[in-house]
Structure 1
Amino acid sequence: MTESGASHAEVHDIIAKLKDLPGALLPILHGIQDKLGYIPAATVPDIAKALNLSRAEVHGVISFYHYFRETPPGKTTVHICRAESCQAMGSRQLEAHVKNRLGIDYHETTADGAFSLEPVYCLGLCAASPSMQIGEQLYGRVSADLFDCVIKSEEVSA
């Protein structure tokens, strides 16, 4: 494993604590991502060995679920709602604007490590569609101008 000593130990602690649970793979993956922010490729062999699975089986689960990241996230994550209500109110245009403004696609991080972009399939703001979440803050009735304003303030505070 090529992770730092601290994260190596943290990963092994998570695996040891959860490996005997029924269906332990998902809790282990969630535990690692919660702790490190992503699931490093170097952890796959250790997870596979602990659960008596192949590396391909572990990687298959990681790559199947969009929630799991295989690369470190940016300092701030931007979530764009892709649920039906938001789509009906213009989230596809917002999505195109955000991707263009940040220069990245979903599941990517800007070159400077400042922002990651992720889809989400409901933020619970259907009455204020389209919606987004930047960091922990939710926004409704989001326009391209509102996104630009919010992202500019995030860049300044970084």
Structure 2
Amino acid sequence: MVVMDTYQYFVHRYMHTNKFLYKHIHSQHHTIVVPYAFGALYSNPLEGFFMDTASATLGFLVSGMTPRTAIFFFSLANLKTVDDHCSMWLPLHLVLANNTAFHGIHHQLYGQKYNFSQPFFVHWDKLFGTYMSYTLEERKGGGLDARPVKHRVAAHGKSD
């Protein structure tokens, strides 16, 4: 899980910072502003290979897991990716900070330079200053909305 997350954080972040890769590869995934389950793996085939297939394969090879464990790992990674895009608060979110709300913030225009981590942990975002914290607010018609926490501006003019 750590190997997969490390690989995906840096490749995902690079796809956002490299204008060519974003325009021609990753932007297809970001046409989905409000994530939904079937859109989880909606991406350019090259992105699908380099993000999902390569990261899971690398995690499998580096860890030396058994074929049975690999089946569980690949299934969990796919389930987690769909879960992060389903716009629902599910029990798995109680265990992992990388959840629907965290990833939903990333899909908003104000959050595209934040919350690159996927699919399990958020430590790389916190370590490299790309973590955008959020609050959950109840919607009038039911459900929850994830809202970014406003960054206060310090006396020296820079946000905290």
TM-score, length basis structure 2: 0.27
Larger strand fraction of residues: 1
TM-score, length basis structure 1: 0.27
Q: For the pair shown, which has the larger CA radius of gyration, 1 or 2?
A: 1
